[in-house]
Amino acid sequence: MQTALVTGASGGIGAAIAHVLAPTHEVWLGGRKIPEGLPGRPWPVDLRDLDALAARTAEIPDLDVLVHSAGMVEIAPLSQTSVRTWRETLELNVIAVAELTRVLLPKLRAANGHVILINSGAGLRVNANWGAYAASKYALRAFADALRTEEPDIRVTSVFPGRTATEMQRGVRATEQGDYEPEKYLKPETVAQFVLNAITAPADAHPTEVVIRPRATAG
């Protein structure tokens, strides 16, 4: 059985990915509080504690799949976006991803592994009030492109979902002073299925980018 590490497994897309990988992978569940009943091995870690990542990843004997799903969002006009927001957003959404990947590269190389980066529609197009978050997601896309070029034996897939029915999205809609309408959004399980499709793609294929939009707003 292959091994996968999924960050952000505390809920939403990360938890859904853990569920779909569990039948075929030993799943390490990265997150501060893992829901009871989620299949896999809890791996509680603060991804922003960069100095601890090398020691904590030593617990994982080998690795075939690394899924970066952890992230944060704070939306506001640029004129009201604090230095703290910029730092925390970039630290979790980009720097922690880069460092966790770096320390796990030897294991991923040994397995000819696969790195999945859950990006966002904001990583393709920037809307007003989304400056800090979009900047982090554009940077995440650049990181994926560079990793793919530098590590030709590792598959690297960026996934760009539109609005998804998660607690994070509920918070975003509250900040936007709009209704939370999950029936109009992607289901986390739908995004997870696309991730599984990328991971199980035939060995001669390299799914580099997957863009998913809610059908209700596609077009």
Distance of CA 107 to the CA centre of its chain: 19
Instruction: Indicate which residues carry an active-site annotation.
Output: 133
C-alpha dist (Å) from residue 153 to 21, 113, 156, 205: 22, 8, 10, 12
